[in-house]
Structure 1
């Protein structure tokens, strides 16, 4: 009887501890998502922000938000016309309160050392406090690994890995001198942060997994120097890259996502800033890996089929 009572007490204690832990995690989540004040980025880090992939989607929306916070901008992109259009749009909305510079560079076609040199020269003398590594490239549609041609493979790796790595290296030098700065690398739920696998987008998902681990490691290296490094994990956002036009509860507009993004800067190493995405991740993680893998594979096989059909139709129209 005493042994049975001891077992019951032990089980009840473990249950109580588990319940308390869940309640604490819930309270912490509510505080982070809704109550925690955002940092004053200009005062905390510096007066200039560098944003890559700044002419569309999340990057453009973040640039607009940063400008509204009073930060001067260095917009980095591969298309000079789009950069000029984005700059003009920001000036129309914000006015002359901020300065804007642009850097035209294509990470898919330029080597790492040249990226570092170009960025370093352009930002020399600027009080760069925030870096947003947002530039990203994915497949036009789902495909098997052996179907990815060399040009696409090199472009995805060049933009997602080489670009982010060497831009970070270029910006770090100035941040180390003044012993403060914030680096935000835009990752993806495909990296493993939300799902167990991401079949038929293998190289893209692998590059985002690199970004996540890269962020964790340099965060530990440079936290002692006053530099906050963070990898933000968006799930689906209504952008050209995702080919999604309609927004919903789980699929925000870039503008909605960018507001959540700025609130999270300077805090956790890995952040899912948009709270419905965080909720979505919890629901996905509750599923066994084998169920996730099966559902994702079937879903992406359907996307591949539709993509191939559309590609064939476009080829026929060109003939």
Structure 2
């Protein structure tokens, strides 16, 4: 009897020790990835990088970060004056070549996107592609309140554009057997079980995660690294948030983490505190997360609608 009790105690202790060791190994690996792992030399992929949506927020910060690594840039956006302003800023700070490509991803069809990207990058050694351009709701709303134009634009910018851009750049990457493609997702790509009241936006970003996972498996053996990066809250115009220490990073802080992660994990949260939030969310019940997210976005929706109605009343009184 004493022998059996000893055996049970030993087995429980061994299991506890194994669990502790696994936790310790996971923590050490996380520290290595977030803070110690050396970034890849992105110039080995090619001398040029292309980025969509590079005139503000995360996209602009990543463009500057890539330029600081010595990469020439192809900036793809819809506003010529903003593209030229960003190009001038980058050339003023870094000794790199910058090319601008004007195209409205929300209004262009698949053939046009593929043709323009192919034509504008012909002859350039494009090794890194950042599909960053994204479109979100002006404010949270129920699905039936989303007008058809907004819905179509979100799907074209967030899903169709990165799909056709990837399709366009892959043949040349396959020829030289190297390249890196990064699709910028969101927390809805992997972290949360649902994103109510921003449904179309969330679903479009979730598409990017699966698109990245699947194409990564297809082309990894050909030397092409395809990745979906998951930013959570970043202080950008889109999120309407202000940077608060490490909880909500600035676009510049996020971009440094983003560029350090290129070429590694298929789906990842590059910024260290975002990865902590992801870990915590995985521990919580889906029902609790759904309730928290619904309450958060519902409050946001009510505040936005109240503000909108006040503006209308003020206008009518004038």
Structure 1 position 181, deviation (Å) = 0.4
In structure 2, how many angstroms separate the alpha carbons of the residues matched to 1:287 and 1:99? 47
In structure 1, how many angstroms separate the alpha carbons of the residues matched to 2:75 and 2:113? 14
**Native 8 Å contact 1:52 1:76 kept in 2:** yes
Correspondences of 1:219-298 after superposition (within 5 Å): 219-298=216-295
> Mean Cα displacement is larger for which, 73-82 or 193-202?
193-202
Unaligned runs of 5+ in 1: none
Pick the aligned partner of 1:157 from 155, 158, 167: 155
TM-score (norm 1): 0.96
Structure 1 position 315, deviation (Å) = 3.2
106 and 316 in structure 1: CA distance in 2 versus 1, 3 angstrom threshold: farther
Matched, 1:201 2:198: yes
Correspondences of 1:142-221 after superposition (within 5 Å): 142-191=140-189, 193-221=190-218
What SS does the aligned partner of 1:140 have? Answer: coil
Q: Give 1:21's aligned residue.
A: 22
Instruction: Show structure 1 runs of 4+ deviating over 6 A.
Output: none
Matched, 1:31 2:32: yes
**Native 8 Å contact 1:250 1:280 kept in 2:** no
What SS does the aligned partner of 1:152 have? Answer: helix
Q: Give per-residue Cα distances to partners, 1:267-308, cap 9 Å, x unaligned.
A: 111111110111122222222211111111111110000111
Q: Give 1:57's aligned residue.
A: 57
Q: Give 2:122's aligned residue.
A: 124
- Superposed CA RMSD in Å reads 1.2
Q: Give per-residue Cα distances to partners, 1:144-184, cap 9 Å, x unaligned.
A: 11111100100110100001100111111111110000011
TM-score (norm 2): 0.96
Structure 1 position 317, deviation (Å) = 4.5
In structure 2, how many angstroms separate the alpha carbons of the residues matched to 1:245 and 1:137? 19
Query: Aligned pairs, how many?
Result: 315
Matched, 1:87 2:84: no
Unaligned runs of 5+ in 2: none
